[in-house]
């Protein structure tokens, strides 16, 4: 058992994170990919992607569709490299499409004024697993543990939407969960924040196009934050929410 504990410590590093905005992720984490100018057979790379996240002319990756499997980088490491940059959240869906080494950032002009005015010091969120596979759900649970300690910023998950300032959706939104998600959203007091966490929530992921899904909810309401990942990393979520609700000095 002791040997196994040492292996985990060596692989993952120390668990407590004093500063979640600057820490470096240990281990084998795949974060924001960068695309170089190296020559390659673009069609071969496109054909590898199980979710059609990669397109050509120029070669680009849609992080809202990407499962972060890394197959594209394995096939052509000179063209595509996955970094450890976990700051991938944005409020602009188009900014999730990367074609070079530029960072993914929030568009400050698109942040609703009431978000930073009301939620900069305290934010309560209700998480809705809309047919999720529990991977994103587990990672969001981790945001409140002693390692990431999201609560130090006044951000917490609550049990009832009536006590929440917004909802966080995980999962591709199945037909069976569509009505429940709508009820939860309507029960949340206005003004409210809507966050999509993970590839499945943003695009449907590997389930996109399935007849078992009903994603019409997203056609009716404005999404305030997209947090890509499969599953979403706790640091990606915490930093994304902080960048959304806090005014820049």
Q: Is the dihedral of CA 243, 64, 85, 7 positive or negative?
A: positive
| pLDDT confidence of residue 5 | 75
pLDDT at 177 over 60: yes
pLDDT at 249 over 60: no
pLDDT at 118 over 60: yes
User: For the segment 51-90, what is each residue's pLDDT rounded down to a tens digit?
Assistant: 999 999 899 999 999 999 999 999 999 999 999 999 999 9
Question: CB under 8 Å to 74, separation ≥6 — which residues?
Answer: none
Residue 126 pairs with which residues in a beta bridge? 167
3-state DSSP assignment of residue 156 = strand
Mean pLDDT score, 159-181: 97
Q: Is the peptide bond before 46 cis (omega within 30 degrees of 0)?
A: no
Q: Is the peptide bond before 191 cis (omega within 30 degrees of 0)?
A: yes
115, burial (CB in 10 Å: exposed 0-12, middle 13-18, buried 19+): buried
């Amino acid at each position: 058992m002791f040997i196994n504990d040492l292996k985990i410590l060596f692989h993952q590093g120390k668990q407590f994170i004093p500063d979640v905005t600057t820490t470096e992720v240990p281990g084998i984490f795949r974060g924001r990919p960068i695309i170089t100018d190296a020559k390659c057979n673009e069609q071969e790379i496109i054909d590898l992607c199980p979710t059609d996240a990669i397109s050509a002319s120029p070669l680009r990756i849609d992080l809202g569709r990407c499962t972060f499997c890394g197959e594209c980088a394995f096939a052509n490491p000179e063209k595509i490299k996955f970094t450890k940059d976990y700051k991938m959240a944005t409020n602009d869906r188009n900014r999730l499409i990367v074609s070079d080494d530029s960072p993914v950032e929030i568009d400050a002009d698109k942040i609703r004024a009431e978000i930073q005015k009301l939620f900069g010091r305290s934010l309560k969120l209700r998480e809705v697993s809309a047919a999720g596979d529990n991977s994103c759900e587990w990672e969001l649970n981790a945001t409140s543990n002693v390692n990431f300690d999201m609560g130090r910023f006044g951000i917490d998950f609550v049990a009832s939407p009536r006590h929440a300032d917004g909802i966080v959706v995980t999962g591709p939104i199945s037909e069976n969960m569509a009505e429940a998600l709508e009820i939860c959203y309507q029960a949340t007091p206005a003004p409210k924040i809507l966050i999509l966490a993970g590839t499945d929530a943003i695009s449907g992921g590997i389930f996109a196009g399935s007849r078992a899904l009903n994603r019409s909810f997203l056609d009716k309401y404005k999404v305030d934050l997209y947090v890509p990942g499969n599953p979403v990393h706790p640091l990606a979520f915490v930093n994304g929410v902080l960048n959304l609700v806090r005014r820049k000095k």
